[in-house]
Structure 1
Amino acid sequence: MKRRMQSPWMATVQVGDVLRTASGTLRIAREVSRYKDGDLRSITFAIRHCSWTHRPTTSYGYTDLRLMGYEPIGVRIALNSKLDRELSADIADHRRQKLHCCDVRGVLN
């Protein structure tokens, strides 16, 4: 099977890791999805700006993450606040959607 073109950090990224975009924006990995072979599939973040869906999260595939220059900064945050738990529940069940984009505005994405 052909290997996916992934950055080395993608093999070890976990929920709670803080990543920086090429422009310097910091984002917290809220969900990490992997293929069966362990390669990174996607990372879900709290959304930065409201969209027409009003969802509180956005996901980027490994190719998008690589092309947008995402890299970890070596910090992992314990996601244990009430908002973190609510956001995690919304991610786990996309039909739930108790939070909206305006609920996560101003938090470290």
Structure 2
Amino acid sequence: FRATYSVKLEGGDQGRFQHPYLSVGGESNARQTDLDPEDFAPEGYTLIHLAAGVAVPVGARDLAVDFQLRNAFDKEYANFLSRYKTYALDAGRNFIVRISAEF
């Protein structure tokens, strides 16, 4: 069983900053129970993700700047589908900055 969820709060334009937003989300993964006897089932886990972003007009285009913090609480986990699950953990806390523009 796997569930993903999120809540997004969008604000009004503030001067040069357009389309600001804050987002909190996560994913929960249950321990696998129906598997081959030779396979390894890692524990279930829940990850929390945070995000924020804004658009800034640059010339005739909007430049979007997004920040994400994935696995915000640095939970140690191993995905059941990972080939490395028996000896390596999946990614810890990640900070992502994305800058994009439409052409």
**Taking structure 1 as the reference length, what is the TM-score of the superposition?**
0.23
The structure with the largest strand share of the pair is: 2
The structure with the largest helix share of the pair is: 1
Larger Rg: 2
**Greater relative contact order: 1 or 2 (C-alpha under 8 angstroms, separation 6 or more)?**
1
